[in-house]
Amino acid sequence: MSPAHHAAARGFPAFPARRGGRASGQSFWARQWTAAVEDVWPEQQPLKQGRSLARSGRTGPLTVSPGRVLARTEEGEQTRTTRLTLTVLDDDAWDTVWERAADRPATADALLAGELPEDLLEAVEDARARMLPGYGDLDADCDCDTPGHPCPHATALAYQLSWLLDTDPWLLPLIRGRSAEQAVEDLKSTLLLRALTAGTPTHADADAADGDGGEGSGAPTPAPHNTATDGTAPDGPGGPGGVYDPGAHPHQQAAYARPRTALPALPPLPEPPAAPGEPLTGIEADPLDRLAADAGLYARELLAHLHGFTDAPPAPPDLWQDTVRLAATHPDPRAVQRLRAGCGRPAGELDRAVAAWRTGGRTALEVLERPWRPTGQQTARARTALAAGWEEELPRIDIDGNHWTLTGRGLQLRLGRDGRWYPYRLHDTVWWPAGPPCADPAEALADLTALPDGDAPQPD
């Protein structure tokens, strides 16, 4: 490994053991990495063994550097060394990537802000480069004696790298040869070069401007702007000593011959407003940001319907749903107290509804308040997905409609009509929302069982 690669290498401590459930990262880049690895290595047995080994706590520490990821696995008295290797992109490939990123203002702004936007993947593909692993690009080397390729140590290392990508997606460009600092500097150079050359005419532009007066036409070529008629460069911005010489441009003499006129006086400053410093109600009245956010959510629901993801267009919220939405999003606790006192519901009901809304909006509120009975096929499919994704012995679960309750543990999963699983915890005989939903029942169950003991969310 070159000294530059040594300098860019980053080390991470070993992950502690994890119980069941999720084996891959959940962020966009982590999911993309995992999907690409499982596409390159499609055999299920090494992947399943790798998931189990990744959660065992025996793999690590990890080292990530340009072109490779390395870890050691403790197996009894032996230590296995495993390397994942990927191709490092050369400078020309990276230059093309930054050119494509500069074509996308939002992508460039996010990169300069230190983020790794999802649109960068499209920019990389436009550059005919590769950020994610592909066939013939990802390889593994391990000193174990396991037959076949890849071995479980390699797949375990790949899954653990997806966990790292959850917190630092810049590790993915690092493997391809660019640290976050290098990437930002390269992009700045690309944008600066574009800005410097944006107003420079090309030879083709000059030919088009000359028309019949081009080379061989016999017509004189005009002197370029800010250039003396004898072909020498002027001393200043417009001529010797920085003074513009209108004699070099006769067609502008009339403009420079006009007398100078004074600028008009500035208007007086307006009087300060006479409105009171405190709002009359005691609550700030600035709902524009919340109205804009609500409009955006409603627009997203309409787009989902137009693209066929939902059967019916979203209905306007009723009075109770709108009350819950306001209480869940209003920043002033005094407004929430007024809504709680005036909603006409029993004490605590609004707070529980607010807790649900904050995990998933109107859909999560319906999961809280409206139980339903899935079809037998839906229940069977959920059982199969749970059994396939949970590699340990499943806890005992009582199923009542869309409520899946872990017997005697005060924990529950609720299947929403959107196909996602919503976690709940029992508190004083009342079920409270316990976190955001998840599409995979095994991952939802793992997250639910990993929740620390504690009380339900408290009112604002």
- The tens digit of pLDDT for each residue in 13-43 reads 888 888 766 778 889 999 999 999 999 998 8
What pLDDT does 229 receive? 41
What pLDDT does 31 receive? 92
| Percent residues over pLDDT 90 in the chain | 35
What pLDDT does 262 receive? 85
DSSP-derived pairing of the beta strands 403-406 and 411-415: antiparallel
Last residue within a domain, chosen from 174, 193, 212: 193
Q: With the C-alpha atoms ordered 277, 282, 287, 293, is the resulting torsion angle positive or negative? A: positive
For residues 35 and 25, the answer to whether their CB atoms sit within 8 Å is no
User: Does some domain include residue 222?
Assistant: no
What pLDDT does 222 receive? 43
User: Does some domain include residue 311?
Assistant: no
What pLDDT does 209 receive? 46
User: Does some domain include residue 242?
Assistant: no
The one-letter code for the residue type at 150 is: P
What pLDDT does 186 receive? 93
pLDDT tens for residues 216-264? Answer: 444 444 444 444 444 444 444 444 444 445 455 555 666 667 788 888 8
Last residue within a domain, chosen from 146, 172, 193: 193
**Residues 34, 67: Cα–Cα separation, whole Å:** 17
What pLDDT does 148 receive? 76
SS3 letters across the chain: CCHHHHHHCEEECCCCCCCCCCCCCCCHHHHHHHHHHHHHCCCHHHHHHHHHHHCCCCEEEEEEECCEEEEEEEECCEEEEEEEECCCCCHHHHHHHHHHHHCCHHHHHHHHCCCCCCCHHHHHHHCCCCCCCCCCCCEEEECCCCCCCCCHHHHHHHHHHHHHHHHCCCHHHHHCCCCHHHHHHHHHHHHHHHHHHCCCCCHHHHHHHHHHHCCCCCCCCCCCCCCCCCCCCCCCCCCHHHCCCHHHCHHHHHHHHCCCCCCCCCCCCCCCCCCCCCCCCCCCCCCHHHHHHHHHHHHHHHHHHHCCCCCCCCCCCCHHHHHHHHHHHCCCHHHHHHHHHHCCCCCCHHHHHHHHHHHHHHHHHHHHHCCCCCCHHHHHHHHHHHHHHCCCCCCCEEEECCEEEECCCCEEEEECCCCCEEEEEEECCEEEECCCCECCHHHHHHHHHCCCCCCCCCCC
For residues 173 and 180, the answer to whether their CB atoms sit within 8 Å is yes
Overall number of domains in the chain = 2
User: Does some domain include residue 434?
Assistant: yes
Residue 404: φ, ψ to 5°: -110, 110
**Angle, alpha carbons 385-160-109 (nearest 5°):** 100
User: Does some domain include residue 269?
Assistant: no
**Domain range for 340:** 318-449
User: Does some domain include residue 8?
Assistant: yes
Last residue within a domain, chosen from 146, 174, 193: 193
Q: Which of 29, 158, 22, 20 is nearest to 86 (CA)?
A: 158
User: Does some domain include residue 416?
Assistant: yes
pLDDT tens for residues 133-164? Answer: 988 889 998 988 777 788 999 999 999 999 99
One domain for residues 187 and 323: no
User: Does some domain include residue 150?
Assistant: yes
**Residues 180, 169: Cα–Cα separation, whole Å:** 10
- pLDDT tens, per residue, the chain with 460 residues: 444 444 578 899 888 888 766 778 889 999 999 999 999 998 888 888 888 888 888 887 899 999 999 998 887 778 889 999 999 999 999 999 999 999 999 999 999 999 999 999 998 998 898 899 988 889 998 988 777 788 999 999 999 999 999 999 999 999 999 999 999 999 999 998 888 876 544 444 444 444 444 444 444 444 444 444 444 444 444 444 444 454 555 556 666 677 888 888 888 888 876 665 555 555 455 556 666 777 787 787 788 778 777 777 778 888 998 899 888 887 778 888 888 888 888 878 999 999 999 988 888 999 999 999 999 888 888 888 888 877 778 889 999 999 999 998 899 999 998 889 999 999 989 999 998 999 888 888 888 887 665 544 555 5
